[in-house]
Structure 1
């Protein structure tokens, strides 16, 4: 095969998902009346922002040769924690901070901390205790979702503080700020995976963990960091969920896990 043709074919195969997306958008724009509108595309991006963020954290663990089935429940627990503290109706406590803008970083840090702690717990059992990631994270999927039910009593938290909900209302260049957060996460972690030793080490671990260890790379540390990041990013997804729904319910995010796995696999995660 001609080298130039081969290179072009490799480019098409590496970016096949983007060509498929473009094809779908063109077909829908032609055959669905009033589909080709910036507002509709903005809504699609906004609706997929939570799933996109969750998929980024899941991809880190999958690239490293493991899996994390707990991300959906972690997002729900993080959203419920934010909802209980900063919602004013239902089971919300209506906590107020002054100045009001402080509620944004505090709620975000709370969501990241909840997710990161569960991720650290999963990572410790997988790496140090040598338990199966499938079993551990499946158990976490169950007990974390159960914890959401226990904490909430099956009830919902409503009317999220306006300072936090502001992120779900404001737009920048036609896109909601929540969508820009998802785009920012994608760019940052793409650079981390492509340009940093940590990213390259994760790929090596996923390819051959034993050989990577014998090459002098700290496999255990990198794996634990991957699980912590997956949990923290799931917490960020939960924060975005709370903003989108202006609160949290006991069944928030049900079904996101399988969509996140599909997104990672279709997106090229091995």
Structure 2
């Protein structure tokens, strides 16, 4: 072995370790999640209580739902910063429709349709007009949040029909209905991403858009549908949140897009597209939720929680870039 090869060996070894970490991201996350649970159970006797785990499950359910759509979009090579604002707008629109006398199914369908329309608009602006996804979805984030605030003048809308709160209060087999919805979406879309022919196209498009176009794939249509799915699931999360809180809240979901992106990237999705699994994103949401819960238990300021979430996102993206650079 030459001197140069000896000098390069630590770098190659480090790259192999990083690649192995990324390749086994889901297993690694499981280990980290177990480590956090064990550590916090020793630090706080309240952590392992049923009430605490119930609170974690209910709190992270909307994030899981949105993370499913975000993962699909990331795999296709896009991303959506408007999901938190769409959640808030769907929440307020549902409440407004209910207060105006609309039936519960009609109010829910109206909110979901609005989410799909916003996703469609994002998809058209990105794929047809060619606006950068960051700019396009940042704009729709501001527009959706602004509409929610204008419609409500910044106030929450309460006094909703009692029957509407069923989804937020109901339990099945001892678990909140919200969590069952989130878990069902994780299972369905993870299987679809692994075995569905349409969803497999997303990986091809995200990995090499030019090759996908040359092979005859309808890149713009597929990616637009991914944006529509993201908007739909964000709106669904908003409806379920309104049911749990029994109010439409225009300020809900603030900075939620950061948590969702962090969870998806931690779970193995790449901002460059072509990689990621729904199960990985789900584990990423659990990981972030446990960290936030642990900091709350340890009386860490909410502002530090935001810093930690941002730092985790940066570290996850940096890790992904280092691995790709090592592969090159």
Task: Give the TM-score category using the shorter length.
Answer: 0.7 to 0.9
Aligned to 2:311: none
SS in 1 for 2:81: coil
Q: 1:96: Cα distance to partner?
A: 5.5
Q: 1:179: Cα distance to partner?
A: 1.0
Aligned to 2:141: 141
* CA distance in structure 1 between the partners assigned to 2:31 and 2:41 by the alignment: 15
Unaligned stretches of 5+ residues in structure 1: 1-7, 87-91, 98-102
The runs of 4+ residues in structure 1 deviating greater than 6 Å are: 8-11
Q: Check whether the contact 1:64–1:202 (CA below 8 A) recurs between aligned residues.
A: yes
SS in 1 for 2:159: strand
* CA distance in structure 1 between the partners assigned to 2:176 and 2:161 by the alignment: 18
Q: TM-score, normalised by structure 1?
A: 0.87
Aligned to 1:100: none
Q: 1:133: Cα distance to partner?
A: 1.3
Structure (1/2) with the larger helix percentage: 2
The answer to whether residue 187 in structure 2 is matched with residue 225 in structure 1 is no
The answer to whether residue 260 in structure 2 is matched with residue 260 in structure 1 is yes
Q: Check whether the contact 1:82–1:239 (CA below 8 A) recurs between aligned residues.
A: yes
Q: Deviations over 1:168-206 (max 9, x none)?
A: 111112111011111111111111111111211111111
Larger relative CO (CA 8 A, sep 6+): 1 or 2? 1
Note closer, same or farther for the CA distance 1:37–1:154 as it changes in structure 2 (3 Å cut): closer
Q: Check whether the contact 2:21–2:28 (CA below 8 A) recurs between aligned residues.
A: no
Give the aligned length.
Answer: 252
Note closer, same or farther for the CA distance 1:238–1:10 as it changes in structure 2 (3 Å cut): closer
Aligned to 1:38: 50
Note closer, same or farther for the CA distance 1:229–1:9 as it changes in structure 2 (3 Å cut): closer
* CA distance in structure 2 between the partners assigned to 1:246 and 1:130 by the alignment: 40
Aligned to 1:4: none
The answer to whether residue 169 in structure 2 is matched with residue 169 in structure 1 is yes
1:22 aligns with one of 31, 34, 37: 34
Q: Check whether the contact 2:22–2:268 (CA below 8 A) recurs between aligned residues.
A: no
Aligned to 2:316: none
Unaligned stretches of 5+ residues in structure 2: 1-19, 271-328
* CA distance in structure 1 between the partners assigned to 2:260 and 2:244 by the alignment: 18
Range 18-27 or range 219-228, more displaced: 18-27
Aligned to 1:122: 122
Q: Deviations over 1:231-251 (max 9, x none)?
A: 101101111221122111221
Q: TM-score, normalised by structure 2?
A: 0.73
Q: Check whether the contact 1:117–1:228 (CA below 8 A) recurs between aligned residues.
A: yes
* CA distance in structure 2 between the partners assigned to 1:52 and 1:13 by the alignment: 18
Correspondences of 1:182-201 after superposition (within 5 Å):
182-201=182-201
